[in-house]
C-alpha cells in the first residue's frame, strides 16, 4: 500500500492553513484544526478583594479557576478621584530651609489645592508657624498671572532652601521632579538666597501633580511579552502593567468617579497574549502613579472589567 498522502478534500479553493484531511496508509489525519476562540468578562472590584497590603496590592482569588486563557486585557476602569495632589504618600508636601546652622522643616497638610494661590498661602502659613520667627523674613509669592513662584527675603540673612528632602528630613534625590519644589516651578534641588535678588522659579506652577495612572495586574503566570515600556530616571517600571489611565481634572474633579475606556481615550490597555494557554485563579492588582508610587484613594475602592480570551 502506498504511503503517499492524499488530501481528499483539496481543490483550487483550499487556503494554505485551513483544516484539511490527509490519508496516511489506512489512517485519516486532520490537520490545521484550531479550537474556536471565545471571550469572557471578569469584574474586578477592590471592595471584594481577599486582602489588601500597605503597599497598595489587592489580592483576588476566583471561586473557579479560569482555564485555557490565551490573553487578557482591560475594557473599562472606574477610578474615584479621591486622591490628594499634595501628600506625604506622594512625597511632595515638604521641604527644608536652613539658616545659621539650624534646619527648619516646612510641611504642608495633605489635601487638595485647587489653585496656585491656595498652595502658596498654605506654605507661607507653615513657614510662619513652624519657624519660631526665624523665617519671618521669608515669603513665597506668585507672579501677577500666578504662573511662577517668587521667594523673597526682606532681611540681610542668607538662607538655603532644600527641595530634595522627604517628610522626615532625609535627602532624597531619586525623583526630584516629584517634589514640592518642582510643583512650585523650581528645577534644582537647592537654592541659597538673600535680600538682594528674589528667587523666581524656572517654570510655571503645576498643581496637577498626578497626570496619569498605571494599572498593574499580576496573574502569577509567565511566558508573555509586555507591551508597556515605562522608563523612569534610573530604572524601568513594573513589567506587569496592563493599562494606562489618563486623568482629566477638569471633567473629573476631586470627589467624582472617572470612567476610562478605549472609546473615550482615557484608557490604553495592553493585550497580554501568552505562549500557550494558561490557567488563572488568583490575581494581584495595584494602582500606581507615573513614578510607580501606589496611589492613596483615601479608603475608596476602584474597579475594572477584565476581558479574557480562551479556547
* Residue that has been written with the C-alpha cell 517634589 in this structure: 179
> Is residue 11 predicted with pLDDT exceeding 60?
no
Q: Return the percent helix, strand and coil in the chain, to nearest 5.
A: 10, 40, 50
Residues in a beta bridge with 282 = 61
Query: How many Å apart are CA 264 and CA 104, to the nearest integer?
Result: 46
Q: What is the mean pLDDT of residues 57-67?
A: 94
Distance CA 113, CA 40 (A): 42
pLDDT-based confidence at residue 2 (cuts at 50, 70, 90): very low
Cβ(59)–Cβ(51) under 8 Å? yes
List helix spans (H) across 132-179. Answer: none
Mean pLDDT in residue range 272-297: 93
CA distance 109 to 123: 9
Query: 38-83+210-310 in CATH: which number?
Result: 2.60.120.1100
Extents of the domains making up the chain: 1-34, 38-83+210-310, 94-200
Q: Give the list of residues 6+ apart from residue 15 with CB closer than 8 angstroms, or none.
A: none
What is the DSSP code (8-state) at residue 35?
P
The C-alpha atoms of residue 222 and residue 272 are separated, in whole angstroms, by 11
User: Mean pLDDT, to the nearest integer, of 176-193?
Assistant: 94
**pLDDT band (50, 70, 90) for residue 14:** low
Tell me the per-residue pLDDT of 221-255, one tens digit each, with 9 for 90 and over: 877 877 788 887 777 787 799 999 999 999 999 99
Amino acid at each position: 500500500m502506498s504511503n503517499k498522502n492524499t488530501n481528499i478534500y483539496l481543490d483550487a479553493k483550499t487556503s494554505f492553513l485551513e483544516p484539511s484531511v490527509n490519508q496516511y496508509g489506512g489512517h485519516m489525519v486532520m490537520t490545521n484544526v484550531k479550537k474556536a476562540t471565545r471571550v469572557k468578562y471578569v469584574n474586578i472590584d477592590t471592595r471584594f478583594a481577599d486582602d489588601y497590603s500597605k503597599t497598595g496590592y489587592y489580592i483576588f482569588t476566583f471561586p473557579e479557576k479560569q482555564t485555557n486563557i490565551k490573553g487578557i486585557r482591560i475594557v473599562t476602569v472606574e477610578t474615584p478621584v479621591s486622591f490628594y495632589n499634595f501628600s506625604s504618600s506622594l512625597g511632595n508636601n515638604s521641604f527644608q530651609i536652613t539658616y545659621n546652622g539650624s534646619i527648619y522643616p516646612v510641611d504642608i497638610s495633605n489635601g487638595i489645592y485647587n489653585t496656585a494661590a491656595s498652595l502658596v498661602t498654605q506654605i507661607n502659613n507653615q513657614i510662619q508657624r513652624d519657624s519660631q520667627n526665624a523665617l519671618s523674613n521669608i515669603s513665597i509669592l506668585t507672579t501677577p498671572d500666578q504662573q511662577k513662584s517668587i521667594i523673597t527675603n526682606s532681611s540681610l540673612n542668607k538662607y538655603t532652601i532644600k527641595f530634595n528632602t522627604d517628610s522626615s528630613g532625609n535627602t532624597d534625590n531619586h525623583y526630584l521632579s516629584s517634589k514640592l519644589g518642582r510643583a512650585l516651578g523650581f528645577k534644582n534641588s537647592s537654592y541659597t538666597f538673600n535680600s538682594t535678588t528674589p528667587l523666581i522659579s524656572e517654570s510655571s506652577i503645576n498643581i496637577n501633580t498626578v497626570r496619569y495612572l498605571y494599572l498593574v495586574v499580576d496573574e502569577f503566570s509567565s511566558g508573555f511579552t509586555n507591551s508597556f515600556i515605562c522608563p523612569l530616571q534610573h530604572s524601568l517600571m513594573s513589567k506587569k502593567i496592563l493599562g494606562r489611565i489618563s486623568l482629566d481634572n477638569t471633567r473629573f474633579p476631586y470627589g467624582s468617579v472617572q470612567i476610562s475606556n478605549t472609546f473615550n481615550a482615557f484608557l490604553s490597555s495592553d493585550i497580554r497574549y501568552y505562549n500557550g494557554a494558561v490557567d488563572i485563579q488568583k490575581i494581584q492588582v495595584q494602582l500606581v502613579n507615573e513614578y510607580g508610587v501606589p496611589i492613596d484613594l483615601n479608603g475608596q475602592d476602584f474597579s475594572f472589567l477584565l476581558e479574557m480570551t480562551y479556547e
